[in-house]
Amino acid sequence: MKKTLIAAILISPMAMGMSSVMAAPNNVGCGLGSTFFDGQEGTGPQILAATTNGSSGNQTFGITSGTSGCDEGGVVTASASVNMFVGNNLDALSRDMSVGQGESLESLAQLMGISANDKSAFFTATRANYGKIFSADDITAGKVLDNLHQVMAEKSSLAQYSRV
């Protein structure tokens, strides 16, 4: 059933005359999705690769381990990976930020490029400012990131990582 669904999704853009839509190469980052759909063009494979990378947590593992097409020493130049990570891990990040530690908070720090020397300050800031970062019950990932960057901008040791 899964194979049939994936095949239908991959074929449907072509059947609708959208085969000329080309995706930028590696437009979805690294991870198993990017590896699995490598070389395939079009919107369908790009969406499936991005969904696989973001939903299964393998992109974070790939970045930290240097596998699945990820570069362990690479620098995150776009906020897309951070936005996707926060969106896919909002509940876990809420829990981790409330106590100032945890796997998802560690992964977020790494994705944001926070150095080992500044991680303690980052973890402490998220715990101390949890109410500012998660300011509503129905908060969105984008608002969480905006609030987090505002908190970071106010701390001299973390301001360099803030986009505010």
The distance from CA 63 to its chain's CA centroid, rounded to whole angstroms, is: 11
Calculate the alpha carbon distances from 43 to 12, 40, 51, 82, 126 in Å. 10, 10, 12, 22, 37
Report whether pLDDT(164) > 90: no
Instruction: Find the helix packing angle between 2-15 and 43-55, rounded to 10°.
Output: 140
Tell me, yes or no, if the pTM score tops 0.75: no
31 backbone φψ class: left, alpha, beta (φ>0; ψ -120 to 50): left
Report whether pLDDT(17) > 50: no
Report whether pLDDT(37) > 80: no
